[in-house]
Structure 1
Amino acid sequence: MSRQVDKLLISVSIALVVIVVGALYLQPEQSEVIASIIFSKITEWFGSGVLLFTFMGVLLLTFVATSKYGRIRFGNEEPEYSNFKWISMMIACGLGSATVYWAFIEWAYYIETPGLGIEANSQRAFEMSLPYNMFHWGVSAWTLYALVAIPICYHLYVRKNAGLSLSAIVSSITGIKQSGVIGRLIDVIFIFICFGALSITLGVSVPLVNNVLSTVLGIEPSFTMNIVLILIISVVYSLSSYIGLQKGMSNLADFTTKLALILCIGVLVAGPTNFIIANTTNSLGLMIQNFVQMSLFTDPIGKSGFPQSWTIFYWLYWITYAPFTGIFIAKVSKGRTLRSVVINTLISGSAGCFLFFGIIGSLTIDRHLKGLVDVVGMLGAGQDNNAIIAVLQTLPLSSAFMILFCAISVLFLATTLDGAAFTMASTATPKLQGDEEPHPLHRLFWCVMLALVPLTMIFIGASLDTIKTSAIITGIPILFIMILIIVGWLRWMVKDFGDVPSDKIAEVCASGVKETKREKLTEV
């Protein structure tokens, strides 16, 4: 194990995380003020660029997948996983348990501060709340994952380059040394944003599960309960990670997805069935109808701050998740075609979110409109967790639904952290081949670290907004790295298959792409 692990990278990354956590602990108020200023400036300076990048990414992937390049196969082997397990693993890694949290209440944030210049608290604000919810978790979000996954798939399985990390593909494209200063800086940023992004997810999810379980058990929520929950989650994903992808993550993701489907079916049957179906259908139509405007809405006249606080933040947040989710998707997509990876990432991932958010969100909207739970008012009073519990309590057999809710939240967290630990171990294992996995003990090390940092954050009461900004700051350099690897991938693809007829692409993939002299981006 010691010969395979990049100890310097691990040491520097952990030291950086400790310094940031220490700063949050020693200067919490000052950190929060600085974070707020930085967040405002980042969304102001880079907002339009982020929106354009994401929208153009959707168009690019649609074009490539439907062109002859969609026939490119990532490896000559048969796919390792069934379609259901493959899609389940994508969704389970790409969506944390925060998904469950936002499915219940995100729409309510859009009522008093709606986008697209809509009047607050109006009928239109209610009608467009769920479509915006779907939009923020739909095709554009999954595009950002695919924009990392596809180039890495090509790097590993078509070009046969070694290294399952961002620095490895940047090295293959540009010729810089992976072990040099720039390569190591890229990997340090990657590991840091993994901690930042997952600390946000755990920071939101663990206290919520604590509150829901405490309600079921009739006890008071406590920090001890937070520790117990994180320990349970840690044991589950550590065991899954140690076993490996084939027996661990794939089965855990499969089970989690099935539980989520059971929750959706249960809510659909026990809740306001007709309203859920009608509102989900209507919301899907409004989201599709307004997709372009929502994608490029900057509000330069009204200056409501909506796109900066929501859409631009979300895209930057997805970008912080994109490296480790993209690397994970690439790892489990061996044997698939480029077209199938794009379709299943964008369409299957989005469809799963539309179903989940449509059913759960519509239930909550119904309860608010009927006056059973004042969701909007409770959010305004900072009682978001209580609002979710109150909605669940309106269902028959509410205790069973709450236990199912907690189980799904814990398992979603476990699968996301499992995927993150795998990619972090892969990054710190130089020259990893496409058919290799990091050492189990190495993955276990990152599992432990991913549990300790968020637990520390919760213990010191670090502001989630501050953690959020810390992660978003690193989203900007990742954005530029994504642009670099996308350009490199496109150049590779055109060079390798530009002159190959559509019906011959499969044959060329089977025989292997001819090795060519590496072209540096600086020569473009």
Structure 2
Amino acid sequence: MKERKYDLKLIITSLALILGIVFYLAAKPEQGTEAANWLFNTFTTLFGSYTLIFTFLSFLTLIYLFFSKFGNIRLDHVKPEYSNFSWVAMMLSAGLGSATVYWGFVEWAYYYTTPALGVTPESSGAYEWAMAYNLFHWGFSAWGLYCIAALPVAYHFHVRKNKGLSLSAVFLSITGWQSKAWIGKIIDLIFIFTCFGGLSITLALSIPLISEGIAKVLGIGSSFTMNIIIVIIISIIYSLSSYIGIEKGMKRISDLNTYFAIGFALLLFIMGPSIFILKNTTNGLGLMFQNFIHMSLWTDPIDNGGFPEGWTIFYWLYWITYTPFMAIFVTKVSKGRKIKELILNMVISGSLGCWFFFGILSNFSMNKNITGAINVPGVLDSLGGNVVIMQILGELPWSSLFILMFTIISTLFLATTLDSASYTLAATVTPGLKNNQDPSALLRLFWCVMLAVVPLTMILIKAPLNTIKTAAIITAVPLTFILIVMIIGFLKWMVKDYGHIPVHEIVKESELKSGEKEIV
């Protein structure tokens, strides 16, 4: 096969931009942090309502597509490449990351002490709403953002057979602005920056957490050197996985990680307050479903307490920073699936996976606070999330085993996220990538190295990760405007291609060839 070319200028420019910002923030941390926080507060205030409406309408659009005739369109007339379990596992592992296990234990505590909707802090109602907001922020709306971004890319690549597996390729195909290549370059730069910035959030939480877990198991103190060693080890894991390909690498790690995560959560459920976990998760789901529209569009216009900006709007923008690389990765692993299958998997399977995980971890942690075993909000405020998580797990019999399992899960989650990110970055800088092609293994390996070098550089020069995170969140706002163009163009494509075709003919066309069955 002819060697695929890559965009060297884009690679150099994007890395120079990222490293330039990193070194500037390290040299002038106070000014950089002040500017980033001002921009974040300004953007969440000006575009807060817009972000909430965009997210809510995205979810409604997915509901329409699922029940419409367009949901029967198959993304290429071939047998799906992966079993349903592996497909779901890769989606969850790529889309969540190890930050999930961190927030699973501690997020409820923030909502308990500073609740939404005028609820009295640290009350029984605050406990109940804390669970509801946990499930809300990791449920339908969040996964809907991933899905609404993935559909235009998947349709562009698998149905229309257009070249290029990148946001810019989809955007230019939809607008017909192929001659205006500079627009595509700007879009790709935004994507690469938000990808690195979004991953800095995961790395900032995950590396110290994994370090704390290893230190606890070995009976030693966590250290700066240990953090660096962990980054290198995880980099080797995901680099090998990326180099050997999705089938042999990412798929196997995702399957293993999913088994580990399910087993870990079930053991916590069995050995913990099982009845309380069931009751409060059920109650939280009831509150969330009953108030879904209100929670989706709540702006706190009278009191302006800051909860929507600090949590819901922040979270939607945080998820949006991940949408480009999730859209590309989902497109790659969803060949042969129907549009309604993709929606069902991402929105329903993704939400159920999060609810299962958060329902058990959050309520296990919450129960420790209710019974007085651990003052979770107090320890969280004084010593940080990593310490309180180790204290919670330390309450279990065979605590070292649970901490070891927790550390392994966090490591595998992080490795799979970075693995999928390296693939999408390589695809972005490979112009004209075709439906049956992958970016070269060496290019994927190069991005694996960069995804390790940039965080290591941040750690070594003590660049403020929170500021870089904030900068990435800010770039999510212009990214939503790019997504709107893609979504509208995608809907127009479907109407043009299938609007005149009756539903039964679309269903017949989407049937697999004789002898081909979907893998379960």
TM range (shorter): over 0.9
Give the deviation of 1:47 after TM superposition.
0.3
Deviation at 1:277, TM superposition (A): 1.5
Q: Which residue of 1 aligns with 2:316?
A: 315
Q: In structure 2, how many angstroms separate the alpha carbons of the residues matched to 1:262 and 1:178?
A: 52
Q: Among the aligned pairs, what percent are the same residue? A: 52
Whether contact under 8 Å (1:223, 1:459) holds in the other structure is no
Deviations, residues 222-281 of structure 1 (Å, cap 9, x unaligned) = 111011111111111101100101111111111111100010111011111111111111
In structure 2, what is the Cα distance between the partners aligned to 1:353 and 1:179? 41
What is the identity, as a one-letter code, of the residue corresponding to 2:449?
V
Give the AA of the match of 2:384: Q
Structure 2 letter corresponding to 1:366: N
Give the equivalent residue in structure 2 for 1:47.
Answer: 48
Equivalent residue, structure 1, for 2:501: 500
Higher deviation after alignment, 136-145 or 172-181: 172-181
> 2-side partners of 1:455 and 1:137: how far apart?
29
Please give the alpha-carbon distance, in whole angstroms, between the structure 2 residues aligned to 1:86 and 1:157: 17
Partner of 2:178 in structure 1? 177
Alignment partner, residue 423 of structure 1: 424
Secondary structure of 1:431's aligned partner: coil
Residue type of the alignment partner of 2:107: E
Residue-by-residue CA offset, 1:300-330 (whole Å, 9 max, x unaligned): 1011100000000000010000010111111
Residue 436 (1) aligns with residue 434 (2): no
Q: Deviations over 1:472-521 (max 9, x none)?
A: 1210111000000000000001111111100001445689xxxxxxxxxx
Residues 158 and 509 in structure 1, CA contact (< 8 A), matched pair in contact too: no
Question: What are the within-5 Å matches in structure 2 for residues 124-523 of structure 1?
Answer: 124-177=125-178, 180-508=181-509
1:158 shift after superposition: 1.1
The amino acid that maps onto 2:494 is: M
Aligned to 1:521: none
1:517 paired residue number: none
Asked if structure 2 preserves the Cα contact closer than 8 Å seen for 1:168 and 1:178, the reply is no
* 1:153 Cα deviation after fit: 1.1
Distance of 2:451 and 2:180 partners within structure 1: 24
| In structure 2, distance between residues paired with 1:22 and 1:462 | 7
The residue matched to 1:181 in structure 2 has which SS? Answer: helix
One-letter amino acid of the structure 2 residue matched with residue 369 of structure 1: I
CA positional deviation for 1:462: 2.9
Offset from partner CA, 1:414-444 (integer Å, 9 cap, x none): 0000000000000000111122111001000
CA distance in 2, matches of 1:465, 1:118: 29
- 2:84 maps to 83
Contact 1:425-1:442 within 8 A present in 2 as well: yes
Q: How far apart are residue 2 of structure 1 and its match?
A: 7.5
SS of equivalent residue, structure 2 residue 463: coil
Q: Distance in 1 between matches of 2:78 and 2:453?
A: 39
Alpha-carbon distance in 2 for matches of 1:138, 1:386: 27
**What is the aligned residue count?**
511
Residue in structure 2 matched with residue 519 of structure 1 by the alignment: none
**Residues in 2 aligned to 1:53 and 1:293: alpha-carbon distance in whole angstroms:** 15
Deviation at 1:452, TM superposition (A): 1.2
Kindly indicate whether the alpha-carbon contact (under 8 Å) linking 2:69 and 2:503 is maintained by their aligned counterparts in 1.
yes
SS of the equivalent of 2:267 reads helix
Question: 2:400 is matched by which residue type in structure 1?
Answer: S
| Equivalent in the alignment of 1:29 | 30
Cα distance change on mapping 1:179 and 1:85 into 2, 3 Å: farther
User: Gaps spanning 5+ residues in structure 2: where?
Assistant: 513-520
User: In structure 2, what is the Cα distance between the partners aligned to 1:19 and 1:394?
Assistant: 45
Q: What amino acid is aligned across from residue 150 of structure 1 in structure 2?
A: L
Q: 1:100 and 1:348 mapped to 2: Cα distance?
A: 18
Is the Cα contact below 8 Å between 1:97 and 1:201 reproduced in 2?
yes
Whole-Å separation in 1 of the counterparts to 2:110 and 2:465: 17
Deviation per residue, 1:358-411 (Å, 9 max, x gap): 000000000011111111111222422111110000111100000000000000
Amino acid at match of 2:268: V
Tell whether the 8 Å contact from 2:22 to 2:468 is kept in structure 1 after alignment.
no
1:520 maps to which residue?
A: none
Task: Give, in whole Å, the separation in 1 of the partners of 2:404 and 2:354.
Answer: 21
User: What corresponds to 2:517 in structure 1?
Assistant: none
Distance 1:463 1:130 in 2: 31
The answer to whether the 8 A contact 1:54-1:144 is kept is yes
> Which residue in the other structure is 1:518 paired with?
none
One-letter code of the match for 1:286? L
| Alpha carbons 1:93, 1:419 under 8 Å: kept | yes
Q: Could you tell me whether the CA contact under 8 Å between 1:178 and 1:184 is conserved in 2?
A: no
Measured in 1, the distance between the counterparts of 2:101 and 2:187 equals 31
Extract unaligned runs of 5+ from structure 1.
512-524
**Cα RMSD between the aligned structures?**
1.4
Q: Distance in 2 between matches of 1:508 and 1:162?
A: 23
Question: Structure 2 counterpart of 1:11, which letter?
Answer: I
User: 1:178 deviation in Å?
Assistant: 7.2
What corresponds to 1:18 in structure 2? 19
Q: Quote the offset at 1:177 in angstroms.
A: 2.3
Go from structure 1 to structure 2 and tell me whether the alpha carbon gap of 1:243 and 1:326 turns closer, same or farther (over 3 Å shift).
Answer: same
CA contact (8 A) 2:4 2:440 kept: no
SS of match in other structure, 1:353: helix
CA distance in 1 between counterparts of 2:304 and 2:381 reads: 21
Q: Give yes or no for contact 1:167–1:178 (8 Å, CA) kept in 2.
A: no
1:145-170, Cα deviation, whole Å (9 max, x unpaired): 01111111110111111110001001
**Structure 1 residue matching 2:47: 3-state secondary structure:** helix
Provide the C-alpha distance between the structure 1 equivalents of 2:371 and 2:220, rounded to a whole number of angstroms.
29
